[in-house]
Structure 1
Amino acid sequence: MEKQSRETRHLDTLDRDLGRLSYLEAGAQYVARPMVGPGISLIFVVFAALMAALFFGQTTHGMIVAVAAVFGAYMALNIGANDVANNMGPAVGANALTMGGAIAIAAIFESAGALIAGGDVVSTIAEGITEPASMVSAEVFIWAMMAALLSSALWVNLATWRGAPVSTTHSIVGGVMGAGIASAGFGAVSWSTMGAIAASWVISPALGGLIAAGVLWFIKARIIYRDDKISAAKVWVPVLVGIMAGAFAAYLALKGLKHLVHISLGTALLIGLLAGILFWLAMIPVTRRQSRGLENRNKSLKVLFGIPLVVSAALLSFAHGANDVANAVGPLAAIVQASQSGDFTAAVSIPHWVMIIGAFGISFGLFLFGPKLIRMVGSRITKLNPMRAYCVALSAAITVIVASWLGLPVSSTHIAVGGVFGVGFFREWHTERRILKARRAMPNQARIAPEERRRRKLVRRSHFMTIVAAWIITVPAAALMSALLFLGMQTLLG
């Protein structure tokens, strides 16, 4: 009996020790988890430096190119963490995609867009922001591009940490402008180009928001508020999908495939029209089949918008990879060209290994750090469902086409987030309108207190103000950081 009691005490002690070890292991995992992302990022950045050293290790500028590759990889990681969320956020917020599915689709299509249709030529310094001839030497040009690349990456990193979706293209523009001013004075900057970019801060989100609100109004009027919602959906969902397909076909023809073949605006619109008609006809039997057995309520309508929303998110990612990646790695390509040939005034051709760094960096950044901004855009600004998220996706494609037709520079980030704001503010306006209508019908009904009405706002004002403030200060903040970095580099190395 005593022996059995000793064995029982021994087993209890062993269980307690194993329990302590389990707690210790769980605690170690909890502490180590935040270090996984930075650890993988560091490995990728080192890989980028080794790749650059492999290509340029035997040249006199091998070390400079390796350092630039590190900055380029860091920038690509930040694009994945911040910019890509704007394409995937609405689909995740509407529960049309899981977080894992969104990350997988975005990683595949962003990389495909960058590698297949990525622009092979960019202007020497970020779309003509500064005049290359103002740089006194190739060495000054290289340090200016290094400062621009690092400052823009740091700014996007800070914005991601604060939960603010910002334009990585605008960050690059600000970085190039700041380095140009520091190296050659204010006269080196093309202020007319900067004025057009500043105008896009207002035009991009306003146009995206108006189009998204207009599409949502159409869906409410023609489908949601009809007595027979399913019958109305059978008529209008194929039309809406056809419009979306046409818009994306024109968008990809105009922007995403410019590396493969030059397509004029008229040709792109014709391609979009043909694609829209084909998809409209194809979606008629598909919508009828999907609508069988659905109840006549709003929840049933979400089923019909799920697949178009997923496809639109994938296409947006492809187009984003084709355009914005080239802008981000443009300074790295410019450094490589200036290091090889000493020529920094001609157009810059982006090498394949630089595009690979951009494509894979975006994928890693999205996988490791993207969920925070995806949740912000998808669910924390305003509540989205598949129909509202569809309006955001459609407005993004249409806005880019309209802006291209008008010759206006726009930001895909500002358009997408502006679309989310447009949907949210339209819902607020529509709700207020219905309340006023009900009050006129029942004048004796108790009024809602002002505090309660403020609480019922459908767009979170704190997030709205944070994002708008980040948009406004992106260019000047990146410019100031770039100028300081350039002057610091000159002091240390000059």
Structure 2
Amino acid sequence: MALPAELTRKDTLDKDLDKIASVEEAASLLSRGLVAPGLALLFIVFAAVAASIYVMGQPGAVVIVAAAAIGGYMALNIGANDVANNVSAAVGARALTLGSALVMAAIFETAGALIAGGDVVETISKGIIDPRLVSEPNVFIRLMLAALVSSALWVNLATWIGAPVSTTHAVVGGVVGAGIAAVGMGAVDWSIMGAIAASWVVSPLAGGVVAALFLFFIKSTIIYQDDKLTAARRWVPVLIAVMAGAFTTYLSSKGLNHVVTFDGWTLTALGVGSTAIFWVLSSKFVAFQSRGMENRNQSLRKLFRLPLVISAALLSFAHGANDVANAVGPLAAIVSAAQGGGVEARVGIPFWVMLIGAAGISIGLLLFGPKLVRMVGEQITKLNPMRAFCVALSAALTVIIASAMGMPVSSTHIAVGAVFGVGFFREWYTANSPRRRAYLERKMARRRAEREASAETIAEVLADEADLDNRGAPPVSREEISRRNLVRRAHVRTIVTAWVTTVPASALLAMGAFHLIGLAF
């Protein structure tokens, strides 16, 4: 007896369609991951084409075009890695969304590079190599190309593993390695290298200590006061004024130093004057903002959000003005040497070279910056606007203090060290502060007067003390509060290892690149 046709038919069409749909979905996900690298590659090609337009028919055109492509690649990596330090605290504190932070940083980075980036840079970074030892133009060009390639590759690797590193140190390592390959160990000024190595320790420690001191001040004078709003109206304007004075001095000495130069007394006057002016303005701002607020830590966040946004913009501007030289400095030196200008200690930067650097930093930030922004702002330790304010203030103030004392520091190490300092200080303070313990006891005693204390009541007190919004959410346990307070040690180990190995790793890469370039050309 024959079976009905519907029983013998295999439903292969539906299965095949499901397989096709799965393949399409997988292809879509794969192609989505290739969009950013594809756009980056297009920018590198654009940099090479733009360079060819300017130098076509001139001496050394082929070398300059190749160097422009490598310089564009380096600029992309600077944007992907280094810029995260400027906006990550504001993003981690939710004062800015990730998208708005990236767009704002890209605008201010570009503005800083083009307006205040300077038209002259040192050809041998930080004076670590004597230009007289590499006076042969062909050797010098190979040295600069090798430094660019090695530093770009190292920063790219650091971004991939999630480690914010100093791009200045990467360039320094590249110059050292290529210089050793070119003329030997005697070419390096090891005293300057010793100072740079010392900055690996000084920079994060200084940034962490300054940030921790400000957080201690905020906790002591505002957070652990029974009348938080009155305390905030008294002290928040002072903190904002100090930040205004610090950033005025920071921008005057670091962000605009290529445009106008101020002496020490002028910088001091500018800092003190802006501090006084912004204390008056911020007193009115805080008084207005605090009207009708509840007397709880959650309310204090609003008072710090606007200063955080402004600080992120100013840090981005200063970074664009200073660190664009890491991408365009070696490129400008290659252009000068290739066009017959010889080997000079300092060279001018053509506008098209500066444009490649500025555009590359901004595009690299938009395409690849989110990974490092999230890591620094959210994954090392939990930030809120008050803690993020301490990080931003430390980033500006520590650079000013270190510069005044003649200490070499890294702004990247300072910013990340400030995040470490805030996190480790919270761990210590939570476990050891008698002020905090007394405050919690008073707060829970008042709750007992209102109703019988329960585990949920205690959790609510701890959540408010830790600046966690517990309204409408399940009770937060003491273990969860403690877990959120901890600094993630795995990130600390990864970042510190990357810091220590940046110069030697870039140097080794540069040695290899120097010899490979010699074979290619």
User: TM-score normalized by structure 1?
Assistant: 0.92
Partner in structure 2 of residue 482 of structure 1: 510
What per-residue deviation string (whole Å, max 9, x for no partner) do you get for residues 69-106 of structure 1? 01100000001110001111111111111110110110
Map 1:306-385 → 2, pairs under 5 A: 306-385=305-384
Stretch moving more, 256-265 or 368-377: 256-265
1:233 alignment partner AA:
A
- The 3-state SS of whatever aligns with 1:348 is strand
> Identity over the aligned pairs, expressed in percent?
61
Partner in structure 2 of residue 460 of structure 1: 488
State the Cα distance separating 1:452 from its structure 2 match. Answer: 11
Q: How far apart are the structure 1 equivalents of 2:436 and 2:103?
A: 46
Query: Does the 8 Å contact 1:329/1:354 carry over to 2?
Result: yes
Partner in structure 2 of residue 402 of structure 1: 401
Q: How far apart are the structure 2 equivalents of 1:50 and 1:398?
A: 41
Q: How far apart are the structure 2 equivalents of 1:414 and 1:437?
A: 30
Q: How far apart are the structure 1 equivalents of 2:323 and 2:221?
A: 36
Q: How far apart are the structure 2 equivalents of 1:461 and 1:480?
A: 28
| CA RMSD, 1 decimal | 2.5
Partner in structure 2 of residue 27 of structure 1: 26
State the Cα distance separating 1:478 from its structure 2 match. Answer: 0.2
Query: Does the 8 Å contact 2:426/2:485 carry over to 1?
Result: no
Map 1:381-392 → 2, pairs under 5 A: 381-392=380-391
Partner in structure 1 of residue 61 of structure 2: 62
Alpha carbons of 1:57 and 1:367: their partners in 2 closer, same or farther (altered >3 Å)?
A: same
1:43 aligned to 2:42? yes
State the Cα distance separating 1:472 from its structure 2 match. Answer: 0.4
State the Cα distance separating 1:19 from its structure 2 match. Answer: 7.5
Query: Does the 8 Å contact 1:168/1:328 carry over to 2?
Result: no
State the Cα distance separating 1:16 from its structure 2 match. Answer: 9.2
1:282 aligned to 2:310? no
User: TM-score normalized by structure 2?
Assistant: 0.87
Partner in structure 2 of residue 151 of structure 1: 150
1:55 alignment partner AA:
Y
State the Cα distance separating 1:119 from its structure 2 match. Answer: 2.3
Query: Does the 8 Å contact 1:254/1:265 carry over to 2?
Result: no
What per-residue deviation string (whole Å, max 9, x for no partner) do you get for residues 102-142 of structure 1? 10110000000000000222222112110111015100000
State the Cα distance separating 1:399 from its structure 2 match. Answer: 0.5
Partner in structure 2 of residue 416 of structure 1: 415
State the Cα distance separating 1:457 from its structure 2 match. Answer: 6.2
2:519 alignment partner AA:
T
Partner in structure 2 of residue 86 of structure 1: 85
Query: Does the 8 Å contact 2:135/2:343 carry over to 1?
Result: no
Q: How far apart are the structure 2 equivalents of 1:124 and 1:46?
A: 25
Partner in structure 1 of residue 103 of structure 2: 104
Partner in structure 1 of residue 475 of structure 2: none
1:48 alignment partner AA:
A
Partner in structure 2 of residue 448 of structure 1: none
Q: How far apart are the structure 2 equivalents of 1:415 and 1:236?
A: 25
Map 1:444-455 → 2, pairs under 5 A: none
Query: Does the 8 Å contact 1:65/1:335 carry over to 2?
Result: yes
State the Cα distance separating 1:24 from its structure 2 match. Answer: 5.1
Query: Does the 8 Å contact 2:381/2:484 carry over to 1?
Result: no
State the Cα distance separating 1:60 from its structure 2 match. Answer: 2.7
1:378 alignment partner AA:
G
What per-residue deviation string (whole Å, max 9, x for no partner) do you get for residues 132-190 of structure 1? 11015100000000000010000000000000000000000000010011101111111
Alpha carbons of 1:438 and 1:233: their partners in 2 closer, same or farther (altered >3 Å)?
A: closer
Alpha carbons of 1:291 and 1:18: their partners in 2 closer, same or farther (altered >3 Å)?
A: farther
Q: How far apart are the structure 2 equivalents of 1:101 and 1:492?
A: 44
Partner in structure 2 of residue 245 of structure 1: 244
Q: How far apart are the structure 2 equivalents of 1:354 and 1:437?
A: 55
1:194 alignment partner AA:
M
1:483 alignment partner AA:
M
Query: Does the 8 Å contact 1:251/1:268 carry over to 2?
Result: no
1:269 alignment partner AA:
T
> Would you say how many aligned residue pairs link Structure 1 and Structure 2?
475
State the Cα distance separating 1:66 from its structure 2 match. Answer: 0.4
Q: How far apart are the structure 2 equivalents of 1:252 and 1:456?
A: 35
Q: How far apart are the structure 1 equivalents of 2:385 and 2:18?
A: 46
Q: How far apart are the structure 2 equivalents of 1:341 and 1:329?
A: 18
Map 1:7-22 → 2, pairs under 5 A: none
Q: How far apart are the structure 1 equivalents of 2:283 and 2:29?
A: 51
Stretch moving more, 264-273 or 422-431: 264-273
2:132 alignment partner AA:
A
1:473 alignment partner AA:
T
- The 3-state SS of whatever aligns with 1:209 is helix
Query: Does the 8 Å contact 2:243/2:393 carry over to 1?
Result: yes
What per-residue deviation string (whole Å, max 9, x for no partner) do you get for residues 467-487 of structure 1? 001000100000010011101
State the Cα distance separating 1:192 from its structure 2 match. Answer: 1.4
State the Cα distance separating 1:345 from its structure 2 match. Answer: 2.5
Alpha carbons of 1:182 and 1:13: their partners in 2 closer, same or farther (altered >3 Å)?
A: closer
Unaligned runs of 5+ in 1: 1-11, 443-450
State the Cα distance separating 1:273 from its structure 2 match. Answer: 1.2
Query: Does the 8 Å contact 2:59/2:340 carry over to 1?
Result: no
- The 3-state SS of whatever aligns with 2:321 is helix
Partner in structure 2 of residue 194 of structure 1: 193
State the Cα distance separating 1:341 from its structure 2 match. Answer: 2.5
What per-residue deviation string (whole Å, max 9, x for no partner) do you get for residues 345-401 of structure 1? 241111111111111101111111111000110011111000000000000100110
Q: How far apart are the structure 2 equivalents of 1:163 and 1:51?
A: 32
Q: How far apart are the structure 1 equivalents of 2:432 and 2:342?
A: 62
- The 3-state SS of whatever aligns with 1:122 is strand
- The 3-state SS of whatever aligns with 1:260 is coil
Q: How far apart are the structure 1 equivalents of 2:501 and 2:16?
A: 55
Partner in structure 1 of residue 221 of structure 2: 222
Query: Does the 8 Å contact 2:124/2:345 carry over to 1?
Result: no
Alignment equivalent of 1:472, drawn from 476, 500, 509: 500
Q: How far apart are the structure 2 equivalents of 1:319 and 1:216?
A: 24
What per-residue deviation string (whole Å, max 9, x for no partner) do you get for residues 16-58 of structure 1? 9987776554333211011101100011000000111111111
- The 3-state SS of whatever aligns with 1:491 is helix
Q: How far apart are the structure 2 equivalents of 1:138 and 1:279?
A: 52
Query: Does the 8 Å contact 2:224/2:435 carry over to 1?
Result: no
Alpha carbons of 1:436 and 1:310: their partners in 2 closer, same or farther (altered >3 Å)?
A: closer
Stretch moving more, 341-350 or 359-368: 341-350
Partner in structure 2 of residue 231 of structure 1: 230
Unaligned runs of 5+ in 2: 1-10, 442-478
